[in-house]
Structure 1
Amino acid sequence: MKKYILFLVALIVTSCSKDDFSTQSAESKIVVEGWIEEGDYAQVLLSRSIPVTEMIDSTNVLNHVIRSAKITVSDGQTSEILKVKNDKDRVPPFVYYGTTLKGEAGKEYSLKIEFLNRIVEATTKIPKTVAIKSAEYVKKTDTDTTGYVFVKFDDPVNEKNYYQIATRIEGKESIFVPSFYGNLDDKNFSTTTVSVQINRGVLLFPKTKFTPYFTDGDLIHVKLRTQNKEALDFWNSWQNEIVNSRNPIYPANTSLKSNIKGGIGIWAGYGQSTLIVKTPEKRKPF
């Protein structure tokens, strides 16, 4: 059974392929996907960029995973070195995680990665959480077996906010997946009361064929994240690659946005609010 690959494991292609950075071209990159949410601990996935000459599949991705780095997260007063664990529900199955430093809104968090002769750094700040008011599964007709999710929330007045809406289907997805067109800038809202239709986001190497809708029988976890401008720009650039029919693993003309010094990818702080949406039971075939 195929498993899931997180978004940035093989983000940028290069012309290098050897395991030891000391023998690689200077073009080889450390790829970072890291985040810390309000009320939760930091998580980081780490890999090397995959050469353009190599085939991209879940097996090859494993050959580029970095699992022996030293990763330190700090809020300026307290620091912790992340541990690494094997998570069989993910590809790659190695996740660096924190256990003591829990994210707080308004605080800035630094990330420092030390691997062989490389140092990679980034900083991010966790915005205030904005609560989801409601999330509802809606079908065009009662006889349909598929539908979409509509999310409602209030955008705070006199505050600048950027959002990301993500979903996770229980039993089918091990991670929250950013929704397609789910990156939002409040400058585009015509009212403070926001209602948004949510489409399923795109995963690389999914278990099943991708569809943009949800299905009867799904138990859907819906998350509203507040994010900073750097994270919005990153995820929008990711989405643009898909909209323009380009594979984000092989960027055509532009590189994805990044806030990582000495590497590529994203280190983001998120506020977060989550609701669970139950759908009707899946009809049994006659």
Structure 2
Amino acid sequence: MKKYILFLFAFIMANCSKDNYSEQSTLESKIVVEGWIEEGDFAQVLLSSSIPVTDVIDSTSVLDHVIRSAKITISDGQTSEVLRVKNDKNRVPPFVYFGSVVKGVEGKEYSLKIEYLNRVIEAKTTIPKSVSLISAEYIKTNPADTIGYVFVKFDDPISEKNFYQIATKIDSVEPVFVPAFYGNLDDKNFKESSISMQLNRGILLFPKADYTPYFTDGDLIHVKLRTQNKDALDFWNSWQNEIVNAKNPIYPSNTSLKSNIKGALGIWAGYGQSTIVVKTPAKK
């Protein structure tokens, strides 16, 4: 299977600061964390050190900055476990810290502690209540087309404050769920509780010169509605803004991503989740 560079890490490592190249190159490298625990699943954490903005980013340089020897402990306040490292050949970087004891439960708080060299990095998150997807459907503008969009429906609970992320994964093509473009939602912006919206396919690869927002015939699409906390919403919105700005030659990116990690960059997030699989017509 074709190997992938996860865009988040290639991007966050390169964009800590672009205001002063010489100053950036002399700064101590930062730890970059992407960690999550979903309802009904175990924790996963990706760990790297930052790459100076002046360095070339490719699969080799990313591998050089992967951290495989940290001690990562998660706890739900009653049970703790030290995560193990596995080699996932479908990813670049291919090393993932994973849990097998502490499982995500709605409403619980989960602490993250990373010990690496002389650094201690900490964060906390909770898993919000899940909201179920009602439907997800692949629709074409013209029946003769070989491309289309996914449209989803769900009901936002009126009595609850919710932040959402919608993500997709194409079976046998993408190894992880990828946040949909403009798929981070604050229910304060909803005009009514019944939500129906089009999904624009997110960006997984770095670089992605041939990005298209639609899906194609032959795709088996996993669609996930995540509930998330405000700090996760802020992180993913800033990540999305960086992607947009980095593609804009007039307004170059020069801002740091939001983070809820003490002593590092990145995100430790708890998610509620609801998933539907969407089948598309066979590729002709």
Structure 2 length-normalised TM: 0.91
Q: Distance in 2 between matches of 1:210 and 1:243?
A: 13
Q: CA-to-partner distance for each residue in 1:263-284, whole Å, 9 max, x for gaps?
A: 000000000000000001111x
Q: Distance in 1 between matches of 2:117 and 2:27?
A: 14
Specify the code of the residue in structure 1 equivalent to 2:3: K
Aligned position for 1:127: 128
Following superposition, the deviation at residue 231 of structure 1 comes to 0.4
- The answer to whether the Cα contact below 8 Å between 2:49 and 2:66 also exists between their aligned partners in 1 is yes
Aligned position for 2:20: none
Aligned position for 2:9: 9
Following superposition, the deviation at residue 12 of structure 1 comes to 3.2
Identity of aligned residues (%): 74
Q: Distance in 1 between matches of 2:57 and 2:206?
A: 10
RMSD: 1.9
| More helix, by proportion | 2
- The answer to whether the Cα contact below 8 Å between 1:126 and 1:227 also exists between their aligned partners in 2 is yes
Aligned position for 1:172: 173
178-187 or 3-12, larger mean C-alpha shift:
3-12
Following superposition, the deviation at residue 162 of structure 1 comes to 0.3
- The answer to whether the Cα contact below 8 Å between 2:218 and 2:280 also exists between their aligned partners in 1 is yes
Q: CA-to-partner distance for each residue in 1:238-281, whole Å, 9 max, x for gaps?
A: 1111222449xxx8321000001000000000000000000011
Structure 1 length-normalised TM: 0.91
Q: Distance in 1 between matches of 2:115 and 2:8?
A: 19
Following superposition, the deviation at residue 209 of structure 1 comes to 3.2
Aligned position for 1:280: 281
Q: Distance in 1 between matches of 2:272 and 2:231?
A: 14
Following superposition, the deviation at residue 2 of structure 1 comes to 4.8
Specify the code of the residue in structure 1 equivalent to 2:4: Y
Q: Distance in 1 between matches of 2:142 and 2:161?
A: 38
Q: Distance in 2 between matches of 1:29 and 1:109?
A: 23
- The answer to whether the Cα contact below 8 Å between 2:109 and 2:124 also exists between their aligned partners in 1 is yes
Q: Relative to 1, partners in 2 of residues 1:53 and 1:70: Cα closer, same or farther, differing over 3 Å? A: same
- The answer to whether the Cα contact below 8 Å between 1:81 and 1:98 also exists between their aligned partners in 2 is yes
Give the count of matched residue pairs: 272
Alignment of 1:45-124 (within 5 A): 45-124=46-125
Question: Can you give the 5+ residue segments of structure 1 that lack an aligned partner in the other structure?
Answer: 16-23
Aligned position for 1:21: none
Following superposition, the deviation at residue 25 of structure 1 comes to 5.8
Q: CA-to-partner distance for each residue in 1:150-174, whole Å, 9 max, x for gaps?
A: 0100101110000000000001111
Following superposition, the deviation at residue 121 of structure 1 comes to 0.5
Q: Distance in 2 between matches of 1:101 and 1:231?
A: 21
Following superposition, the deviation at residue 54 of structure 1 comes to 1.0
